[in-house]
Amino acid sequence: MPKHFSPYCERNKQPILEQLSVYFKASQRVLEIGSGTGQHGVFFAEQLPHLIWHTSDMPENHVSISAWINESGLHNITLPVEFTIGRDAWPDVPVDAVFTANTTHIMQPEEARQMMELIASNLPDGGIFCQYGPMKIHGEYTSDSNRDFDKTLKASGFGGIRSVEQLINWGKGMQLIKKIPMPANNFLLVWQVSKS
């Protein structure tokens, strides 16, 4: 079955929406980096009809993303473009906002750094980036479960949970304007590009 389902997306979509409805209020076009199953994109596009939602991911995830989009019948969400940090060029779509969920800790540190730099250099002045997932604060885990999760991630070959301060250092040209605690020991980081 091409349409995949993530229980994590189902659980976190409403609390994330509550924040996106605030911080993407003035945005017009959003690039989602790592659209995964496609659930988030379809849900947010439906709930935020003023946005054009651009999906992107590795090619192996396109079938599921496309299935969710085609079934939705929505006209404000686009079929996925191929975009893997460290391999592909920034997508040729005009956007003034970026969203990503549960990707930063999957990426290797160099890929996470590249993502922050790409967003800072490709969003226009005033553009908003909302970044969801587990984070460390001043290098410290925010819970024992996140410490255990990080060990599992690294044992599986993933990059692991990044520290907010490290992301700030990598995201030159962006200001962290809000650090919002979210359910299940996650955060939503809200960044704004400042070209001045």
Q: What is the pLDDT of residues 35-64, one digit of tens each?
A: 999 999 999 999 999 999 999 999 999 999
Q: What is the pLDDT of residues 54-92, one digit of tens each?
A: 999 999 999 999 999 999 999 999 999 999 999 999 999
Amino acid identity, residue 178?
A: K
Q: How far is CA 95 from the centre of its chain?
A: 14
Q: What is the pLDDT of residues 142-190, one digit of tens each?
A: 999 999 999 999 999 999 999 999 999 999 999 999 999 999 999 999 9
CA 144 – CA 150 distance, rounded (Å): 10
Q: How is domain 7-193 classified at the architecture level of CATH?
A: 3-Layer(aba) Sandwich (3.40)
Amino acid identity, residue 59?
A: P
CA distances from 174 to 73, 88, 121, 126, 147 (A): 35, 22, 9, 9, 28
Q: How many residues are present in the chain?
A: 196
CA distances from 4 to 37, 38, 154 (A): 5, 8, 25
CA 102 – CA 86 distance, rounded (Å): 17
- Where are the chain's structural domains? 7-193
pLDDT at 1: 56
Q: How far is CA 18 from the centre of its chain?
A: 15
